[in-house]
Amino acid sequence: MRIASLALLVLLASPARAWRLWGEASDKKIRPVQELHDARKPLEVLAALTPDFISTLRGTDLRQAYVLKGDSLDFLGRADEALGVYQLGVKLFPKNVDLLTRQGDLLHRTGLDEQARAFYARALVFEPRHFGAQLGLAEIDRRSGFLDRSASHYEIALETLDGRADVWRSYAETLLAQRDWTTAELAIARAIKIEPKNPEGHVLTAFARRAQGDGAGALTALDAALALGVGVGARRAKALWLVEADRHAEAVSEADAILKAFPGDGAALWVRARAHLARGRYADAAADLSALAPDSRHDFTARAARLLRARYPAR
């Protein structure tokens, strides 16, 4: 009796997460399926979770079955089926934060942010620091323009996901949008420390330095990203930023390198046209701008090129 009372006391005193983890760890029927899932075998997971098998499950095992089935479907790109599984799971287990968060994630990824927000909010009622719900809300708030709220959600998510460089980078982007340069650079540094070979951290550093007016530092950071093999995007940025620094010859050199690989690249043609204009070579500029703005194109780049060409017709 005393032992039972003590166990009950311990359980009641446990934080919500401990209770959840204790409750969810499966040592029953679901364990072999969980192992297939952990081994990243979604097809095998789906094959194992037959209706007959699921009908034999109860409690934690059943909850976990819905999670595993939904995750596997989602991983295989069958998002609509995954959503159906999560919806059913949430109906059966309305307080399960994993199911609530996953349903929120799927809705968020399809752009249904307000519906997703409701599921994340429900998850946080039961587990206020749940990393998935916090991360989902961070993204939604950032997209919606609530940058301060977004930063707060990222900070809570990072308590759990502090080893995830991509989350540190996303957090840094929110901070950059808030113009909190110092904290942004600290967050980027964390991302680079976790993934030193990933060029995206250096690209972000470049944007942070440029935003602070450090053009030379920005170009250095872009070079670091290029050295790590980042794609053509960083070279485009470099070409445009060299134009901003009035270093037209170097800008043209970068633009030519891009055009060699991607003839017709909009940013590269724009850079070359700007360099031609700066040198007074209006006919060359008009030629590049004409290539950029055929009558059939109505996107932003083409419209800007047409306006510039009209200002400097070939002379």
Partner 1 sequence: MKFGWLALLLAAPAFASPDLSSEALLRDHLWREVRQAPAGRRPKVGLVLSAGSLRGVAHVGVIQALENAGFPIDAVAGTSMGAVVGAMYASGLPLKKIFEWTSTINVGSGNDLSSARLISLLLFDKLLSSEKTEIMLRKGLGGIRFDQTLKPFACVAMDVYTGEAIIFRDGDVAKAVRASMNLPGIFRPLEYRHRFLVDGGVVNYIPVDAAKLLGAEWTLASVTETDYTTARPENVLESLLQVIDIRGSYLSQEQRRHADFLIEPPVGDIGMFEDHRINEAIEKGVITASARLEAAKESLILASVPKLADGWGVKTK
Q: What is the 3-state secondary structure (H, E, C) of 177-241?
A: HCCCHHHHHHHHHHHHHHCCCCHHHHHHHHHHHHHCCCHHHHHHHHHHHHHCCCCHHHHHHHHHH
Nearer to partner 1, 290 or 301 (CB): 301
Nearer to partner 1, 6 or 216 (CB): 216
Neighbours of 205 (CB within 10 A): 24
The radius of gyration computed from the CA coordinates of the chain, to the nearest angstrom, equals 26
Helices (H) and strands (E) in the chain, counts: 20, 0
What element of type H or E holds 248? Answer: helix 248-261
Cβ at position 13, least distance to partner 1 in Å: 21
Dihedral pair phi/psi, residue 160, rounded to 5°: -95, -40
Nearer to partner 1, 63 or 236 (CB): 236
Nearer to partner 1, 6 or 38 (CB): 38
Q: How far apart are the first and last CA of the chain?
A: 99
Cβ at position 5, least distance to partner 1 in Å: 29
Inter-helix orientation angle 97-109/113-126, to 10°: 160
Q: What's the one-letter identity of residue 280? A: G
Cβ at position 56, least distance to partner 1 in Å: 22
Cβ at position 128, least distance to partner 1 in Å: 16
Nearer to partner 1, 53 or 312 (CB): 312
Cβ at position 275, least distance to partner 1 in Å: 10
Nearest-10 Cα torsion for 213, 217, 222, 223: 150
Nearer to partner 1, 52 or 246 (CB): 246
Nearer to partner 1, 88 or 302 (CB): 302
CA distances in angstroms from 66 to 50, 61, 92, 95, listed in the order given: 11, 9, 10, 14
Nearer to partner 1, 48 or 157 (CB): 157
- Residue pair 36/48 in contact (Cβ under 8 Å)? The answer is yes
Cβ at position 11, least distance to partner 1 in Å: 19
Nearer to partner 1, 57 or 170 (CB): 170
Cβ at position 8, least distance to partner 1 in Å: 25
Q: How far apart are CA 312 and CA 288, in angstroms?
A: 12
Cβ at position 155, least distance to partner 1 in Å: 14
- Residue pair 66/99 in contact (Cβ under 8 Å)? The answer is yes
Q: What is the DSSP letter of 14?
A: S
Cβ at position 272, least distance to partner 1 in Å: 13
